[in-house]
């Protein structure tokens, strides 16, 4: 009996996917529940498992094909025999076959131009660590074995599903919203002094370092309470005001920026915020973020300062109407009690949709964030 392998319903708002890699070849024997094919969506990567044991009789959509939810990817024959054999053929019986690989290993290999077939795994599947070992061995090889020559060449690389979606959404944000950015400057001295005093005790008590991100998440929540239209979205000619605070935190990932969400951020402690952000960064790197991690979001924060950015204009993450950009902390002259002194300063940027947020409101929102961050005691009191 034949059983279809179909594109699963992987979550709300995801309607299509791309076949990134088959982990088995036509004719291979497969066990029920065994991963067969990897799909790439605009949010996460998904493994599709065999619904039944048997032989992979036919692959309908090969790697690189775009598919819709519910489409047939391939067919399993539960009782088929391969002609000329006593049973279904085993993997590798017709020459070399590409190895099974984890999503994080595949991404790293693609970024570093490493042929997966050349990577020797420690286990049944190629892992990110296997690729890293292969890279280290290649870099340690003599230069005359590695240098390809100074050739001039072009390379055509198809965008990943996620990269293409990011590109489309960024363009849509600029075409559909009335985007404007306002800037401010924050003296980070008080936060840095507090962190220096409390970092050891905080780490010992909570098992996580105290960064600056938690201060800004708390400050954003406090400012959103005072300026609720920055925590809203536009639907037709109506404003949907959100009376909860799901703060998106932009983190870098191999396939492009992703924005996992700290749900109910107003209810989280500093330690919970720091743990959540570090967990997002780790799982964005190894490809294990889930749809729940990326769901929703009422306002976003992006920190270009971790890459050295001094100033930038962040783009909205629709349907949100506001995003806060953080930047590098640099010592600059500042007036302190009538004296010019060097202080650790950060430029902040607020991009907002002018259709719903007035300029004066946006400026006051950004100033309010600065007031809260520059006085951490006030931040603790007013955002609880």
DSSP 121-170: -SSSSB-HHHHHHHHHHHHHS-HHHH---S-------PPPHHHHHHHHHH
Whether 175 is a known active-site residue: answer no
In this structure, the chain runs to a length of: 384
> Can you give the pLDDT at residue 178?
92
> 344 with 189: CB under 8 angstroms?
yes
pLDDT, position 226: 96
Question: Of 9, 122, 264, 354, which one is the catalytic site residue?
Answer: 354
Q: Find where tokens 């931040």 sit.
A: 379
pLDDT at 309: 94
Give the pLDDT of residue 55: 92
- Confidence at residue 89, expressed as pLDDT on a 0 to 100 scale: 41
Instruction: Say if residues 242 and 298 touch (Cβ distance below 8 Å).
Output: yes
pLDDT for residue 91: 40
Q: What CA–CA distance (Å, rounded) separates 370 from 164?
A: 35
| pLDDT value for 143 | 55
Indicate the fold that domain 2-97 takes in CATH.
OB fold (Dihydrolipoamide Acetyltransferase, E2P) (2.40.50)
pTM: predicted TM-score of the whole model, two decimal places: 0.73
End-to-end CA distance of the chain: 61
**For the structural domain made of 161-382, what CATH number should be given?**
3.30.559.10
Q: What pairs with residue 340 in β-bridges? A: 335
Nearest to 177 by CA among 380, 351, 16: 351
- Given this model, what pLDDT does residue 247 score? 98
Q: Is 354 a catalytic residue?
A: yes
Helix axes 213-226, 270-286, angle to 10 degrees: 110
**What is the reported pLDDT for 58?**
92
Kindly name the residue from 264, 286, 358, 375 that is annotated as catalytic: 358
pLDDT at 87: 42
pLDDT value for 154: 81
The series of mean pLDDT values per 10 residues for the chain, 384 residues long, is: 88 80 90 89 84 92 90 86 41 42 74 78 78 80 57 78 81 88 96 94 95 96 97 94 96 84 96 96 86 90 94 93 97 91 97 96 97 89 66
Q: Where exactly are the structural domains of the chain?
A: 2-97, 161-382
């Amino acid at each position: 009996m034949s059983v279809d392998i179909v594109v699963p319903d992987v979550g709300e708002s995801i309607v299509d996917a791309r076949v990134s890699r088959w982990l088995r070849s036509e004719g291979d024997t497969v066990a029920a529940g065994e991963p067969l094919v990897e799909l790439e969506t605009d949010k996460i990567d998904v493994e599709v498992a065999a619904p039944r044991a048997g032989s992979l009789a036919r692959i309908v959509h090969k790697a690189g094909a775009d598919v819709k939810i519910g489409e047939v990817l391939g067919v399993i024959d539960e009782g088929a025999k391969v002609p000329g054999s006593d049973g279904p053929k085993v993997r590798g019986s017709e020459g070399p076959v590409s190895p099974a690989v984890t999503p994080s290993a595949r991404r790293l290999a693609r970024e570093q131009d490493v042929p997966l077939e050349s990577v020797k795994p420690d286990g049944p599947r190629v892992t990110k660590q296997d690729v890293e070992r292969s890279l280290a061995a290649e870099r340690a090889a003599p230069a005359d074995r590695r240098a390809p020559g100074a050739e001039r060449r072009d390379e055509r690389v198809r965008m990943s599903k996620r990269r293409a979606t990011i590109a489309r959404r960024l363009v849509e944000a600029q075409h559909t919203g009335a985007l404007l950015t306002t800037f401010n400057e924050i003296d980070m001295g008080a936060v840095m002094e507090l962190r220096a005093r409390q970092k050891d005790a905080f780490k010992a008590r909570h098992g996580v370092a105290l960064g600056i991100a938690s201060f800004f998440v708390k400050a954003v929540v406090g400012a959103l309470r005072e300026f609720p239209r920055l925590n809203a979205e536009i639907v037709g000619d109506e404003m949907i005001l959100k009376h909860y605070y799901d703060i998106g935190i932009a983190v870098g990932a191999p396939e492009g920026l992703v924005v996992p969400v700290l749900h109910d951020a107003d209810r989280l402690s500093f330690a919970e915020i720091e743990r959540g952000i570090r967990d997002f960064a780790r799982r964005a790197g190894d490809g294990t973020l889930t749809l729940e991690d990326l769901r929703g979001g009422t306002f976003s924060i992006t920190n270009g300062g971790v890459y050295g950015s001094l100033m930038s204009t962040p783009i909205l993450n629709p349907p949100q109407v506001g995003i806060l950009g953080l930047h590098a902390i640099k010592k600059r002259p500042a007036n302190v009690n009538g004296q010019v002194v060097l202080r650790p300063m950060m430029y902040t940027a607020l991009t907002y949709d002018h259709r719903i947020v007035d300029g004066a409101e946006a400026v006051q929102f950004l100033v309010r964030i600065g007031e809260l961050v520059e006085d951490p005691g006030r931040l603790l009191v007013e955002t609880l």
